[in-house]
Structures are given as C-alpha cells and as structure tokens.
C-alpha cells in the first residue's frame, strides 16, 4: 500500500488521539504496526478507516479506536506478560507485542490462527505465541499475566481469566448480550478485584466454556 505511514499517522491523529487516547506508547505502536497487512489484499485500502473489517470465518478485526482504548487500559510499561483471547487477524497481538515483553494469544479457528501466525512471523514479532483452543479457559501453564485482553463479547467474565491475573494485573473484556456489550476493566488488588465500566461496544461472540454456546 502506497503511503501507509501517512494513513497510519492520520488514523492515530483523527480516530485515536482525537477521541482521548493519550498513552504515547500506545499511539506510537499504532503509528508503527502495518494494519493493512493483517487484512485481505482486497480490503487493504480500507484498513485505516474508522470501522471494523471482515477477516474470514465471520469474524472481524476491531476498529482502530477500540484497539487503542483497550490497549491503553492495560497500562503496559514494557516488561509484562500479556494474554489475548481471540487472535483473529493478529493485529491486536502485534500492537501488544510492541508494548509488552511477551504476548500469548488464543484463537478458536485454526485457519485464523495459522494466518495470524504467518503474518506475525513475517513482520518479526518473535515475542508472540499463538495457539488454537478455547481462550475462555485462559492459558494456565503460563499464568499469571499482568494484562489480559478479550477481543470477543461474553455474557459473563470468565472466572479462569480473573484467576490467571497477577496481583495488580488488568483484564479488559466486553460483557453483555450478543448485540451489545460494556467494556469492563477488572483490576486485581490484594483484597480481590475492582471493576470499571468503560462504555458500550459491539464485538463478535466469545464462544466457549465461559462464553456463549455455539
């Protein structure tokens, strides 16, 4: 894509910073990750537009602003282990990989996981690992995580993910019905957890043990 750097700079300025995302590291990461390489060639000229895009298997790559908002809420400084549920295209994985030490990502559809792995590898994101499975159960072998991000909507917060949060760790997850959800930020504190509602969003379904039934 010609002038993709300009398209990204503009995306960050008009869609992300203009709506109040202020973490400079997040803005920098989004200026850097080549979002157009995470979608089909036929959709590349739309990759920097202000909306989600189809990525196959009836799934979508989230709107840039939502990626930024969720990423900012994890408050990453660079040394964290982060877990992502719903790899999809791998775009959010790459943004996290710019900002954390290591990113673990789980995807339900083998075909999407395979493609995302290839894209991340080609772009040199060697601090990412993608596996196929039910992410609503988390990734107990490598827990605890300082940050956990769920990029699909769920009727309730999956308890295994709360259990796999490090103390003072952050979990961001869209909770609601199948049509709309609230973005919930869960923080693990010494005495338990705190929850903050970050506003309304719309995601595809989290399907699994702690999400929706198929």
- In sequence order, the β-bridge partners of residue 131 are 106
Cβ 193 to ligand SAH shortest distance, Å = 21
Q: Can residue 201 be called a binding residue for ligand SAH (CB under 6 A)?
A: no
Cβ 48 to ligand SAH shortest distance, Å = 14
Applying the rule CB under 6 A, the residues between 97 and 156 that interact with ligand SAH are 106-109, 112, 134-136, 151-152
Cβ 68 to ligand SAH shortest distance, Å = 12
**Which residue in 150, 141, 97 sits closest to 121, CA to CA?**
97
Q: Tell me the residue ranges of DSSP E strands in the chain.
A: 53-56, 59-61, 81-85, 102-107, 128-132, 145-150, 165-176, 181-189, 192-201
Applying the rule CB under 6 A, the residues between 35 and 54 that interact with ligand SAH are none
In the structure encoding, which two tokens stand for residue 197, read together? 């509602």
Q: Which of 62, 73, 89, 105 is catalytic?
A: 62
Q: Answer positive or negative: Cα dihedral of 126, 132, 135, 138.
A: negative
Q: Can residue 208 be called a binding residue for ligand SAH (CB under 6 A)?
A: yes
In the structure encoding, which two tokens stand for residue 13, read together? 């300025």
Between residues 163 and 189, which has the closer beta carbon with respect to ligand SAH?
163
User: What are the phi and psi torsion angles at 104 (to 5°)?
Assistant: -105, 130
Q: Kindly give the pairing relationship between strand 59-61 and strand 53-56.
A: antiparallel
| 73 labelled catalytic | no
Query: Binding ligand SAH by CB under 6 A: which of 33, 66, 86, 99?
Result: 86
Return residues touching ligand SAH (CB under 6 A). Answer: 55, 59-62, 85-86, 88-89, 91-92, 106-109, 112, 134-136, 151-152, 204, 206-208, 211
Residue positions annotated with a catalytic role: 62
């Amino acid at each position: 894509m010609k002038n993709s750097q300009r398209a990204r700079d503009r995306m960050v300025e008009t869609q992300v910073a203009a709506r109040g995302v202020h973490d400079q590291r997040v803005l920098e990461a989004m200026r850097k990750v080549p979002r157009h390489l995470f979608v089909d060639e036929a959709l590349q000229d739309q990759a920097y537009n202000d909306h989600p895009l189809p990525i196959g298997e009836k799934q979508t790559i989230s709107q840039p602003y939502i990626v930024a908002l969720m990423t900012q809420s994890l408050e990453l400084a660079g040394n964290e282990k982060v877990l992502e549920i719903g790899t999809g295209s791998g775009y959010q994985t790459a943004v996290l990989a710019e900002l954390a030490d290591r990113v673990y990502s789980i995807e339900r559809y083998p075909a999407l996981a395979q493609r995302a792995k290839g894209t991340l590898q080609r772009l040199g994101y060697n601090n990412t690992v993608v596996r196929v499975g039910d992410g609503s159960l988390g990734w107990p072998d490598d827990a605890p995580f300082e940050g956990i991000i769920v990029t699909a909507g769920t009727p309730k917060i999956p308890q295994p993910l709360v259990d796999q949060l490090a103390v003072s760790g952050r979990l961001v997850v869209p909770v609601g019905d199948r049509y709309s959800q609230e973005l919930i930020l869960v923080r693990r504190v010494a005495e338990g957890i705190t929850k903050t509602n970050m506003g309304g969003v719309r995601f595809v379904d989290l399907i699994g043990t702690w999400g929706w039934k198929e």
